[in-house]
Amino acid sequence: MLEFDYDLFVIGAGSGGVRAARIAASHGARVAIAEEYRIGGTCVIRGCVPKKLLVYASRFTDEFEDAEGFGWSLEGARFDWQSLIAAKDNEIARLEAVYGATLAKFNVELFAERATVAAPHGVKLTQSGRTVSAKAILIATGGRPNLDENLPGIEHVITSNEAFHLKEMPRRVVIAGGGYIAVEFASIFKGLGADVTLIYRRDKILRGFDEDLRNALTTAMTSRGIHIIAGHIFTRIEKTQTGLAGHITGGEVVEADQIMFAIGRSPNTAGLGLEGVGVKLSGNGAVAVEGTWQTSVPSIYAVGDVTDRVNLTPVAIREGHAFADTVFGNKAWTVDYKAIPTAVFATPEIGTVGFSEHEARAQYGDIDIYKASFRPMKAILAGRDERMLMKLVVERASDRVVGVHILGPDAAEIVQMAAVAIRMGAKKSDFDQTMALHPSAAEELVTLREKWIAPGEAAG
């Protein structure tokens, strides 16, 4: 008789868990996976994918406006929220089915219920009450949106989870938060025609991003009509006859049909039984891991957002893959966390990789900055005066480009390729020697010749 029911039991069928399950199974492991909501996890069901679909929808407004400058006249364009949500739901259901089919193809046994850790080798399935044993347990339970539970009226607010399922398009939206999810939803609702206010407790949106990007996106969002109230928080929220009233510090009251909180996310470890079996958690409840996935209990591992390191889908996927190859496939490798490209799908969008100017200065001391701010070609005829920003951060001693930061159309697409160059250690001279692709916006990256001198700073 076999010692354990499974070689691997994965808790959470999201980005990291599904990848780990599939790869471990492909190496011959007997694998089971439990999912309490829907297969695919946050990214597929209520994160990256549905968000990007809403982003696409929200940008048609610009396209329609710009088209006039190119000779088109468009009358009678109308937007229907219910049609968009139905189309989005179909696509998410399709993707969920694809994920389920992949698990089935690899003979991964699926438990469509919540699971908790009962022992170093034991998993309890909470709905059926069964306990099963596994040689290894992988915690891949992701994260959940934070709410300020002590705020009076918090029961009236939604998070990104609910924003994807609203029955009606809200006409007035107030969003609390200044991170990427907050600014993305602000742009989505604005693009779809809502009045949008963003309330953020700090002085400027997108903490941790390059200052030029933060400033440029603030300017662009403001000039698109998004009202940004920085340095304030809600003190209470009330239901009114016409919707909701959000009272904020300083006494201002903002009225809304929906108030959305996007004030960060926390690892999903509550009630998971981890402390009971000796798995160490960090201050905010994240599973503490050594190296890429090992917890303080040898048979229990964790990957993805539940470890609260770099909370992005490609990172969770790679962690799950490396874990499965290493532990079940006799192919040891670890994840390299350097130069992870990332995007903010606001409108205009941000693509960024490597060090911000501020980080590079702290890391290398002497750096050079190259930047350009210009109206993209399409904007001229369109009569749009929004500017595109491109910025290179270069370590002076080695001439290596250590940061690429872009705000403007297709920034994410451009930065994905720039990330290859950054990882390969490309120098500014390599950028300079690369032939421009004309006419494009991205060609600016290889034609930036003048170092940017800060006002009052001598040339280096």
Binding mask 132-151 for ligand FAD (x = CB under 6 A): --------xxx---------
Quick one: 51 or 400, whose CB is closer to ligand FAD?
51
* CA pair distance 126, 113, nearest whole angstrom: 7
Pairing of strands 172-176, 143-145: unpaired
State which of positions 102-121 bind ligand FAD (CB under 6 A).
114-116
Of the residues 4, 26, 27, 48, which one makes contact with ligand FAD according to CB under 6 A: 48
Is the separation of the CB atoms in 142 and 305 below 8 Å?
yes
Structural contact between residues 174 and 245, judged by C-beta atoms closer than 8 angstroms: no
Residues 412-427: b if buried by 16+ CB within 10 A, e if exposed: bebbeebbebbeeebe
Site string for ligand FAD, 170-199 (x = CB under 6 A): -----------x------------------
CB-CB contact of 388 with 407 (8 Å): yes
Our answer to whether residue 438 is catalytic in this structure is yes
Give the shortest CB-240-to-ligand FAD separation in angstroms. 28
Site string for ligand FAD, 1-40 (x = CB under 6 A): ----------xxxxxxx----------------xxxx---
Short-list 281, 327, 271, 326, CA closest to 306: 281
Look up residue 443 and give its two tokens.
């060609």
43 binds ligand FAD (CB under 6 A): yes
Of 221 and 302, nearer to ligand FAD (C-beta) is 302
- Interaction mask 385-414, ligand FAD, x per CB under 6 A: ------------------------------
Alpha-carbon distance of 65 to 76, in angstroms, equals: 13
Helix (H/G/I), strand (E/B), else coil: 409? coil
Residue window 317-356: x/- pattern of binding to ligand FAD, with contact defined by CB under 6 A: ----------------------------------------
* Strand 172-176 with 258-261, pairing: parallel
Determine which residue in the list 10, 42, 261, 347 makes contact with ligand FAD, applying CB under 6 A: 42
- Contact stretch for ligand FAD (CB under 6 A) within 94-102, 307-315, 390-398, 438-446: 307-315
Using an 8 Å Cβ cutoff, are 327 and 300 in contact?
no
Task: For the CB of residue 270, give the shortest distance to ligand FAD in the complex, in Å.
Answer: 9
Burial of 257 (0-12, 13-18, 19+ CB in 10 A): middle
Query: Which one of residues 5, 7, 210, 305 is an interface residue with ligand FAD (CB under 6 A)?
Result: 305
CA gap 401, 398 in Å, rounded: 9
Cβ 397 to ligand FAD, closest distance in Å?
A: 33
- Closest-CA residue to 14 (of 343, 262, 315, 338): 315
Touching ligand FAD, residues 200-259 (CB under 6 A): none
Instruction: Kindly list the residues in this chain that would bind ligand FAD in the complex (CB under 6 A).
Output: 11-17, 34-37, 41-43, 47-48, 51, 114-116, 140-142, 160, 181, 268, 272, 304-306, 311-314, 316
Catalytic residues: 438
